[in-house]
């Protein structure tokens, strides 16, 4: 039977659920029942052998799994006497018998139903007098491998997952990536390796640390299968959400994949695939989600392991952990000598530019760019995801770039592409069709400058932030009422009591209203006081009754060097391709002749003056100036509008 027909037949089960279940909850029933029926059909040829083996060995007190899996011919088994058809022979006990049937699966299969919280759904269906009807419906669906292959069954299950995710679009984006985005990202990831993937007997691995319902893993498998049916793509993944993990694992089990490679848990705090390295990696981590819950573990790994761990380059701010997933993926790359790895990850806009020089985000970008991992970034249209309409970007990375891409990064602006959907799905209002996906992949493959494609050297995104100091030049106003009031309201000055009173008296006794020399002011103040002020106390007085004055005397320290005015301190970001002294002489000195560079502020890694930073100002590179309309045109439009308004007022 055609895959679409089977999918429609299973989907028609929803008719039985209307009224008792919300549309968004249909998947909690149909997906596990589809899995149950498929597993039952797969195990049918060896079912009697497994039951016989179990009966013969169950009282020996030995682990049974290796014997039963060998008899079943699969990585899972079931020792129950029940099938869906046999369950219907005892309607009064159908709920208890179905639970017994589920519990007799091998642990790896039973876990999926537990994550679905399937027992609770069984009870609810039974109370609504729907359980028998649902079992009857699925017992008639032929999902035997002779009827529908593992690959085809995977497509059916993937279609069901997609439908249910769209039905619950208010949360779908957390665990499900739209199909068009998955297809594009997968195509970009694999497109340059088509020659390798078409080789006979080729084996490659694919990993997703935020697997969700397994969309990327399924799409990767489909891509490779379409390219080369003889190729083997071994899939790995980890997912935090229990139900999404169950769906992903079920999808893998339906396809005959080793489900032991799919893990449940938080990837950042509990990487369950340890030292594994992968050929390909795909991920759509949550956008703008804080990592406070795992902050302690992540910071400990960063401090204790440094570059030997996953987060050596740096840590982003706690409010957005998407760059942590990027570092995690980079740590899973195979060494270049073993063929290297390729990564496709979907991120929002903040990882492009958030954080100045020296920040965690900038240092992560620096690590990625200076190691020449970044191949391309593709800007997507807005409104492409179920639960957000923000700008999104696909990053493609590799630690084994082809020669013509080395030292360069391609930016592709596909933000103007996309078609309007006939009906919005949550925030998803646009989609990419196959032609647009092919065009983007082609532009990426050509790696040439065009209207929506630009090529940059990696150093084009780097800069040095230098600290610009200006000389301290102060004028003092000992009689200014506002400044004296400010001094007297200072909490530190209030605590000075008698000394404070003496300072105020001394200030009042100074004859000049304005003194343009610190040395002169200090001498005048000292003459009027019997007490001697400490350096800290003098700075307190200076803070309130002085102000910067370009005409005032230059302040110097005890060694005769100019002192810097911290309030006038500024910073300049100088492109890495430019000499900082030449830039300073050209851009700063003509405007502020007495300014200088603080050469103590040096980069921690290269020791040069200035802190190195990296950002990728994507929109700036594709900005197109649109001149304002002529004044005559605007005036004419205003006159027309005024005339329309006056006509409406006359009618009123």
Interval 532-542: pLDDT, tens: 999 999 999 99
Look-up of token digits 């045109």: 633
| Stretch among 289-293, 330-334, 417-421 having the lowest mean pLDDT | 417-421
Looking at residue 172, its pLDDT comes to 38
Q: What DSSP string describes 69-81?
A: HHHHTSS--B--S
| Mean pLDDT value of segment 403-415 | 94
Q: What DSSP string describes 552-591?
A: SPBPB-TTSPBPB-GGG-EEEEEETTS-HHHHHHHHTTTT
Phi, psi of 495 (to 5 degrees): -75, -15
In a domain, 586, yes or no: no
pLDDT-derived band at 388, boundaries 50, 70, 90: low
Of residues 83 and 158, the one with the higher pLDDT is 83
| Mean pLDDT value of segment 509-516 | 93
477 and 349 in one domain? no
441 and 499 in one domain? no
The last residue of one of the domains, among 548, 582, 601, is: 548
The last residue of one of the domains, among 548, 577, 605, is: 548
Looking at residue 271, its pLDDT comes to 94
| Mean pLDDT value of segment 620-649 | 88
445 and 478 in one domain? no
As a whole number of angstroms, the distance between CA 73 and CA 521 comes to: 95
pLDDT at 627 over 50: yes
Q: Which of 373, 402, 409, 394 is nearest to 440 (CA)?
A: 394
Looking at residue 601, its pLDDT comes to 94
Burial of 51 (0-12, 13-18, 19+ CB in 10 A): middle
| Stretch among 123-127, 314-318, 324-328, 556-560 having the lowest mean pLDDT | 556-560
Residues shown for the chain: 652
| Mean pLDDT value of segment 24-50 | 88
Q: Say if CB 185 and CB 208 are below 8 A apart.
A: no
In a domain, 291, yes or no: yes
Burial of 459 (0-12, 13-18, 19+ CB in 10 A): middle
Between CA 383 and CA 390, with CA 384 as vertex, the angle to 5 degrees is 50
In a domain, 591, yes or no: no
As a whole number of angstroms, the distance between CA 417 and CA 382 comes to: 10
Looking at residue 175, its pLDDT comes to 46
Looking at residue 245, its pLDDT comes to 87
As a whole number of angstroms, the distance between CA 473 and CA 516 comes to: 8
pLDDT at 173 over 70: no
Beta bridge mates, 602? 609, 610
pLDDT at 28 over 90: no
As a whole number of angstroms, the distance between CA 375 and CA 399 comes to: 9
As a whole number of angstroms, the distance between CA 220 and CA 343 comes to: 12
Looking at residue 424, its pLDDT comes to 67
Measured CA to CA in angstroms, residue 421 lies from 168, 185, 270, 386, 528 at distances of 17, 20, 39, 12, 81
As a whole number of angstroms, the distance between CA 565 and CA 472 comes to: 4
pLDDT at 426 over 70: no
Whichever domain contains 219, its CATH number is: 3.40.50.150
Task: Provide the CA 314 distance to its chain's centre, in angstroms.
Answer: 16
Beta bridge mates, 564? 471
Measured CA to CA in angstroms, residue 585 lies from 276, 471, 594, 607 at distances of 52, 17, 11, 22
Of residues 449 and 623, the one with the higher pLDDT is 449
Q: Say if CB 234 and CB 203 are below 8 A apart.
A: yes
Most distant CA pair in the chain: distance in Å?
Answer: 112
The pair of structure tokens assigned to 617 is 């100002």
Looking at residue 170, its pLDDT comes to 44
Three-state secondary structure call for residue 462: strand
297 and 336 in one domain? yes
**Count of CA atoms in the C-beta half-sphere (13 A) of 121:** 20
As a whole number of angstroms, the distance between CA 500 and CA 508 comes to: 13
Rounded to the nearest integer, the mean pLDDT of the chain is 88
The pair of structure tokens assigned to 168 is 């619950």
| Mean pLDDT value of segment 620-635 | 85
Looking at residue 425, its pLDDT comes to 65
| Stretch among 268-272, 574-578, 628-632 having the lowest mean pLDDT | 628-632
Give the structural domain span for 478: 471-548
Query: For 51-78, what is each residue's pLDDT tens digit?
Result: 998 888 877 777 778 888 888 888 889 9
297 and 227 in one domain? yes
90 and 189 in one domain? no
Q: Are strands 453-457 and 408-413 parallel, antiparallel or unpaired?
A: antiparallel
Q: How many CB atoms lie within 10 A of CB 222?
A: 18
Three-state secondary structure call for residue 343: strand
Phi, psi of 224 (to 5 degrees): -70, -40
14 and 92 in one domain? yes
Beta bridge mates, 262? 237
| Mean pLDDT value of segment 599-614 | 94
As a whole number of angstroms, the distance between CA 397 and CA 344 comes to: 7
84 and 50 in one domain? yes
Query: For 309-365, what is each residue's pLDDT tens digit?
Result: 999 999 999 989 999 999 999 999 999 999 999 999 999 889 999 999 999 999 999
Can you list the alpha helix ranges (DSSP code H) found in 458-550? Answer: 481-489, 491-494, 498-509, 518-527, 535-545
Looking at residue 21, its pLDDT comes to 83
Q: Are strands 203-208 and 232-239 parallel, antiparallel or unpaired?
A: parallel
As a whole number of angstroms, the distance between CA 30 and CA 8 comes to: 12
Looking at residue 166, its pLDDT comes to 62
| Mean pLDDT value of segment 232-245 | 88
As a whole number of angstroms, the distance between CA 634 and CA 52 comes to: 88
In a domain, 558, yes or no: no
Looking at residue 387, its pLDDT comes to 63
Q: Which residue pairs, CB below 8 angstroms and at least 24 apart, start in 501-508?
A: 502/529, 502/530, 502/531, 503/529, 503/533, 503/541, 507/478, 507/479, 507/541, 507/545, 508/478, 508/479
Looking at residue 55, its pLDDT comes to 87
Three-state secondary structure call for residue 626: coil
| Mean pLDDT value of segment 177-183 | 83
In a domain, 602, yes or no: no
108 and 243 in one domain? no
111 and 14 in one domain? yes
209 and 76 in one domain? no
The pair of structure tokens assigned to 577 is 């391709």
Q: Say if CB 549 and CB 458 are below 8 A apart.
A: no
In a domain, 583, yes or no: no
511 and 485 in one domain? yes
Between CA 251 and CA 247, with CA 128 as vertex, the angle to 5 degrees is 10
In a domain, 631, yes or no: no
Can you list the alpha helix ranges (DSSP code H) found in 318-433? Answer: 322-331, 350-353, 360-370
- Give the number of domains in the chain: 3
Q: Which of 410, 369, 350, 412 is nearest to 622 (CA)?
A: 412
pLDDT at 7 over 80: no
Q: What percent of the chain has pLDDT over 90?
A: 56
The H or E element containing residue 219 is: helix 215-227
Q: Which of 548, 562, 543, 547 is nearest to 490 (CA)?
A: 543
Looking at residue 389, its pLDDT comes to 67
In a domain, 104, yes or no: yes
pLDDT at 393 over 70: yes
């Amino acid at each position: 039977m055609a895959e679409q027909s089977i999918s429609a037949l299973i989907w028609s089960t929803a008719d039985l659920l209307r009224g008792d279940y919300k549309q968004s909850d249909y998947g909690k029933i149909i997906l596990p029942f589809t899995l149950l029926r498929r597993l039952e059909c797969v195990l049918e040829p060896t079912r009697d052998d497994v039951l016989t083996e179990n009966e013969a060995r169950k009282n020996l007190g030995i682990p049974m799994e290796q014997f039963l899996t060998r008899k079943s011919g699969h990585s899972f088994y079931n020792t129950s006497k029940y099938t869906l058809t046999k369950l219907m022979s005892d309607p009064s006990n159908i709920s208890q018998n179905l639970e017994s049937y589920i519990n007799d699966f091998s642990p790896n299969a039973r876990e999926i139903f537990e994550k679905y919280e399937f027992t609770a759904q069984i009870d609810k269906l039974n109370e609504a007098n729907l359980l028998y009807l649902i079992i009857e419906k699925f017992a008639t669906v032929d999902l035997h491998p002779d009827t529908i292959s593992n690959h085809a069954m995977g497509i059916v299950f993937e279609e069901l997952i997609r439908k249910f995710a769209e039905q619950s679009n208010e949360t779908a984006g957390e665990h499900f990536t739209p199909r068009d985005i998955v297809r594009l990202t997968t195509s970009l990831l694999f497109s340059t390796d088509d020659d390798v993937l078409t080789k006979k007997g080729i084996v490659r691995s694919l990993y997703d640390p935020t697997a969700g319902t397994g969309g990327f893993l399924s799409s990767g498998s489909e891509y490779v299968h379409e390219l080369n049916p003889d190729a083997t793509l071994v899939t790995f993944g980890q997912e935090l959400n229990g139900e999404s993990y169950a769906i992903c694992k079920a999808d893998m089990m339906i396809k005959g994949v080793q489900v032991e490679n799919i893990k449940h848990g938080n990837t950042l705090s509990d990487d369950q695939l340890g030292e594994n390295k992968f050929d390909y990696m795909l991920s759509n981590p949550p956008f703008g989600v804080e990592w406070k819950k795992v902050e302690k573990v992540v910071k400990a790994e960063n401090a204790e392991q440094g570059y030997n761990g996953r987060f050596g380059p740096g840590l982003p701010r706690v409010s957005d952990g998407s760059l942590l997933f990027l570092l995690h993926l980079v740590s899973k790359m195979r060494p270049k000598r073993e063929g290297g790895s390729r990564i496709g990850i979907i991120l929002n806009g903040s990882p492009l530019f958030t954080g100045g020089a020296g920040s965690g985000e900038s240092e992560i970008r620096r690590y990625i760019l200076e190691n020449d991992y970044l191949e391309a970034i593709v800007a997507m249209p807005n409104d492409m995801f179920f639960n957000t309409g923000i700008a999104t970007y696909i990053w493609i990375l590799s630690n084994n770039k082809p020669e013509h891409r080395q030292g360069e990064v391609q930016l592709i602006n596909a933000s103007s592409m996309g078609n309007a959907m006939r009906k919005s799905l949550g925030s998803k209002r646009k989609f990419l069709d196959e032609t647009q996906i092919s065009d983007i992949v082609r532009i990426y493959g050509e790696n040439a400058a065009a209207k929506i494609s630009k090529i940059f050297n990696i150093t084009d995104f780097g800069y040095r932030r230098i600290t610009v100091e200006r000389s301290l030049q102060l004028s003092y106003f000992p009689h200014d009422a506002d400044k004296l009031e400010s001094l007297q309201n200072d909490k530190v000055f209030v605590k000075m009591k008698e000394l404070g009173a003496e300072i105020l008296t001394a200030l009042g006794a100074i004859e000049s209203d304005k003194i343009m020399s610190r040395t002169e002011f200090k001498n005048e103040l000292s003459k009027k006081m019997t007490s001697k002020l400490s350096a800290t106390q003098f700075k307190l007085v200076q803070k309130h009754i002085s102000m910067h004055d370009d005409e005032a005397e230059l302040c110097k320290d005890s060694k005769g060097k100019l002192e810097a005015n911290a309030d006038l301190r500024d910073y300049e970001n100088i492109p890495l391709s430019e000499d900082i002294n030449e830039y300073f002489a050209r851009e700063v000195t003509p405007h502020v002749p007495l300014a200088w560079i603080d050469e103590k502020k040096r980069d921690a890694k290269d020791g040069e003056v200035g802190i190195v930073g990296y950002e990728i100002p994507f929109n700036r590179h594709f900005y197109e100036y649109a001149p304002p309309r002529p004044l005559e045109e605007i005036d004419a439009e205003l006159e027309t509008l005024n005339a329309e308004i006056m006509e409406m007022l006359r009618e009123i």
